[in-house]
Amino acid sequence: MQWKSWFVALMLASLVGEQSTSTDQQAMHFYADIGGDEPHVLMVAVLPDLGVLHLQSGEILGLESELIMAFAQKEGMVIEWVCVHSANAALKALRQGRVDVAIGGLPEQYLDGLARTSRIRTCAWHVASHADSVYILNNAPTYAGLWQQDSITILTHQTNMYRFSTDSLLMRPDFLINQPLDSLLLIGQGGISWYSSPSDSSLQQALTAYLSSPLARRNKAIFRHHGMGHGVDITGMDSLFHGHTIDPYTLMALAYTESRFNASIISSAGAVGLMQVLPNTAYRLGTDTSKLLNPLVNIEASLAYLKFLDRYWERFGVAKDERLPFVLASYNTGPTPVRRQALKAEKKGYLATVWKGHVDQFARGPGAFYQRRIMRRAKLYRSYAMVMKANLTAIKIGNR
């Protein structure tokens, strides 16, 4: 009978309880979760290259990304990143109102009609005639190994350099050109700024005020030498998260939030390893607890708990494509508090089986904030990987 399966689920939930206490208790500058309500979401389109934004061990690095995250923290906002592969895509998203701000290597010659901040970087735009490419020189971000150079030497190099292709506005990696600098056509001095819609004057004023503030100048001095990342590996251990029944980028985001990819960490509550699994939870779900410091075993234990939570919410009638926020919130607090919030929503006339627009109207605790953090970071990881893989494909095609 149906009531029996519910009873079994409730009994197991009471035994398993709260799976983990996240090590991420400090205020994260990436997410300005302030007070009991969801802060304003700032949608940012970004070209993930040139030290503007790249990922290393799951962390967001780069001058522009660090600056705009500090701005969001100051304004009590939370950033939702939209990684794009071209300047055209960034500008289209901005002009269509799908994002609030566009950042990255967007040359000023193509940005008529948009509001612009002061220049964050100054640079010279050069066209390499035989490749029809524009290289950013002088103060533009360089590779981590070239931090001390004032400009990038145009010589063949074993590392990938990002280029701006004038015909399609496609930003993609390519090898540095073995061509004398004086053979390049200078098309003018320029810079890298942030762009927003001219109709959003309050946002533009806030961005401009921030970039001229002492806080922004300090941040710029700290982060000006960030280099660019290499390849598509987001975490340093990406292969461990692929090949499972759950989306790898969701697992990566969960691992980042729980442990910052530290497989040897043990929290004050006794949660162990990469996914911060409690030994008693792992034991009840059939995992050898003596091996929880092994990253792959830890991920498998976490997956077993996620599968249990998925079945739990399935029994309560939550459709498959609606379960993820319920599951992630439950991973943080245990399913019982989340179930109480769902029942509260139902009593107020909302659906207890739909998160967005229903249960999330009443889910104000740590589990709700937790699932939002996970899903936003997973979205960033997913779009970043897609763009970087497309870039690598462009290199292979271009070098045939």
The whole-number pLDDT of residue 107 equals 66
Distance CA 258, CA 373 (A): 11
pLDDT in tens, 257-305: 999 999 999 999 999 999 999 999 999 999 999 999 999 999 999 999 9
The whole-number pLDDT of residue 55 equals 85
Token reading at 350: 């909302």
- Asked if the domains 2-26+237-386 and 40-233 are classified in one and the same CATH topology, the answer is no
Token reading at 194: 């942030």
Per the prediction, the chain carries an average pLDDT of: 76
pLDDT in tens, 342-386: 999 999 999 999 999 999 999 988 999 999 999 999 999 999 988
Tell whether the torsion through CA atoms of 198, 203, 206 and 208 is positive or negative: negative
Amino acid letter, residue 289: T
Name the band, by pLDDT with cuts 50, 70 and 90, for residue 104: confident
Distance CA 328, CA 367 (A): 8
Which ranges of 138-290 would DSSP assign to H, the alpha helix? 201-211, 214-223, 248-259, 279-284
pLDDT in tens, 307-353: 999 999 999 999 999 999 999 999 999 999 999 999 999 999 999 99
CATH of 2-26+237-386, one of 3.40.605.10, 3.50.50.60, 3.90.1150.200, 1.10.530.10: 1.10.530.10
pLDDT above 60: residue 140: no
The whole-number pLDDT of residue 223 equals 66
pLDDT above 70: residue 41: yes
Amino acid letter, residue 169: L
Length of the chain: 400
The whole-number pLDDT of residue 305 equals 97
Distance CA 121, CA 295 (A): 41
Question: What average pLDDT does the segment 61-90 reach?
Answer: 88
C-alpha Rg value of the chain to the nearest Å: 23
pLDDT above 50: residue 75: yes
Interaxial angle between packed helices 366-398 and 248-259, expressed in degrees from 0 to 180 and rounded to the nearest 10 = 120
Domain ranges of the chain: 2-26+237-386, 40-233
Which backbone phi and psi does 56 adopt, to 5 degrees? -140, 120
- Among 37, 76, 71, 55, residue whose Cα is nearest residue 372: 37
Beta pairing partners, 79: 42
CATH homologous superfamily for the domain 40-233: Periplasmic binding protein-like II (3.40.190.10)
Amino acid letter, residue 39: P
